[in-house]
Structure 1
Amino acid sequence: MFITFEGIEGCGKSTQAALLSKQLERMGVDFILTREPGGTAIGSVIRRILLDSSNSHLSARAELFLYAADRAQHVSEVIMPALDNGRWVICDRFMDATTVYQGVARRQDPGLVASINEMACLGVVPDITFLIDCDVDLALGRALRRNMETADKGQDRFEKEVTAFHEAVRRGYLDLARSNSARFFILDGSEGVSAVQKKIIFLLESHIEGKTS
């Protein structure tokens, strides 16, 4: 089972991915929790480049290829081996993030983005994707508070983008989810953490029951 979490900055997806992992651990499920970018040692180096706010001059095309490099390494080193060994994979962002951030918000050619994603993913597609949808102002406010409470003390390169960029990302995610409704579940990120978590568990259990019935 391959489960991904998607959404704009500050939507709460990372929190929900961690909470689902704790639930799976209690259930005795063999799984790994990973993320993009940065799910490998090589990916961690790429992540620092991508998120460093001083790299504001990074071109949209270079950004696209950096994410692809991170994903290609992540899939071959972490995701495919885990799935091949029967383990569940919980991933904080995957290919849909590139489709939306680089393809929609950065306005890169959709065909190019799709081709690069296909090459990087090696045929791996999530079984379930939880999209945590959230108002942009609310989400960015959360992200800023989170950063002030940690060692970051500031915004990363994406969090510094103008509101219109984040609105484009949000619309892109919703459009993508509606056109891939078989694997996407949209949740209201403005609700409390516990409420969202309960809905995720319910949806996951219902999905599994539907597959086995």
Structure 2
Amino acid sequence: MTRAARGLFVTLEGGDGSGKSTQAELLAEWLRASGREVVRTREPGGTDVGLEIRELVLHHRGDIAPRAEALLYAADRAHHVATLVRPALERGAVVLQDRYLDSSVAYQGAGRVLDADEVRRLSLWATDDLLPDLTILLDLDEAAARARLDGARTRYDRLEAEGASFHARVRAAYLELAAAEPERFLVLDATLPVDELATAIREAVGERLVGGDG
């Protein structure tokens, strides 16, 4: 598929507590108001199969070997893209997705100290090389993120419960990914006011919609 022949694939990335869900909802409302079909989804858990994988990787009691964890995320991603994301893009929808392959590179690559290039190649193989048109990275210091989570959570998943050093590695990996692909990433300071972030995101998405339609 060429960009002109399909919809727009937008992913939201960042540490837990960075505000991805809030911004995705605001963006979806704006797009729907302009008449666009919007598909909001997430990884893991965007499909029935994904929900089962999500429960396993995030709430399983006991350890999961790092390579097994990476493979489970890739399995979810393969099914998710084949059954939900690609069909939506092919009919011209805007797909807004909470987490994608950059999460695996950051969390399983840097966080779990696996080979980041191998993790990325695994995800690209699983998705037949599908990359987002735009990735919005909401950057937030790990201490600030923990403070937000502590004020909002009563139950932490396996990744949220990791220590500060884990989340510092994840944040550093995200910033390295964004620096390597500046044409794909929009990096925003997640401590900015919600409406200011929403405006910046709308502008970036609007530019890509115009470019894709032209």
TM-score normalized by structure 1?
0.92
Query: Does 2:91 match 1:90?
Result: no
Confirm or deny: 8 A CA contact 2:101 2:120 kept in the other structure: no
Letter paired with 2:144: L
1:104-115 matches, cutoff 5 A: 104-115=110-121
Query: Does 2:118 match 1:102?
Result: no
Residue 162 of structure 2: SS of its match in structure 1? coil
Residue 187 of structure 1: SS of its match in structure 2? strand
Over 3 Å counting, the alpha-carbon distance change for 1:110 and 1:128 in structure 2 is same
CA distance in 1, matches of 2:196, 2:150: 23
Q: Equivalent residue for 2:47? A: 40
Query: Does 2:78 match 1:77?
Result: no
Q: Equivalent residue for 1:130? A: 136
Confirm or deny: 8 A CA contact 1:177 1:184 kept in the other structure: yes
Confirm or deny: 8 A CA contact 2:107 2:170 kept in the other structure: yes
Over 3 Å counting, the alpha-carbon distance change for 1:111 and 1:136 in structure 2 is closer
**1:211 to partner: Cα distance:** 5.6
In structure 2, which of residues 21, 24, 34 is the aligned counterpart of residue 27 of structure 1? Answer: 34
Residue 129 of structure 2: SS of its match in structure 1? coil
Q: Equivalent residue for 1:157? A: 158
Over 3 Å counting, the alpha-carbon distance change for 1:209 and 1:88 in structure 2 is closer
**1:23 to partner: Cα distance:** 1.0
Confirm or deny: 8 A CA contact 1:3 1:90 kept in the other structure: yes
**1:179 to partner: Cα distance:** 0.3
Letter paired with 2:16: E
Residue 40 of structure 2: SS of its match in structure 1? strand
TM-score normalized by structure 2?
0.92
Confirm or deny: 8 A CA contact 1:144 1:154 kept in the other structure: no
State, as a whole percentage, how many aligned pairs show the same letter. 39
CA distance in 1, matches of 2:208, 2:195: 20
Over 3 Å counting, the alpha-carbon distance change for 1:40 and 1:210 in structure 2 is closer
Confirm or deny: 8 A CA contact 1:19 1:197 kept in the other structure: yes
CA distance in 1, matches of 2:213, 2:83: 30
Structure 1 stretch displaced more, 161-170 or 16-25: 16-25
Cα RMSD over matched residues?
Answer: 1.5
Deviation digits for residues 108-151 of structure 1 (CA, Å, limit 9, x no counterpart): 1234212211111112110000000011111122122222xxxx
Over 3 Å counting, the alpha-carbon distance change for 1:210 and 1:88 in structure 2 is closer
**1:13 to partner: Cα distance:** 1.1
Residue 82 of structure 1: SS of its match in structure 2? helix
**1:54 to partner: Cα distance:** 2.5
Confirm or deny: 8 A CA contact 1:75 1:122 kept in the other structure: no
Runs of 4 or more above 4 Å deviation: 209-213
Q: Equivalent residue for 1:182? A: 183
Gaps of 5+ in 2: 1-7
Confirm or deny: 8 A CA contact 1:17 1:90 kept in the other structure: yes
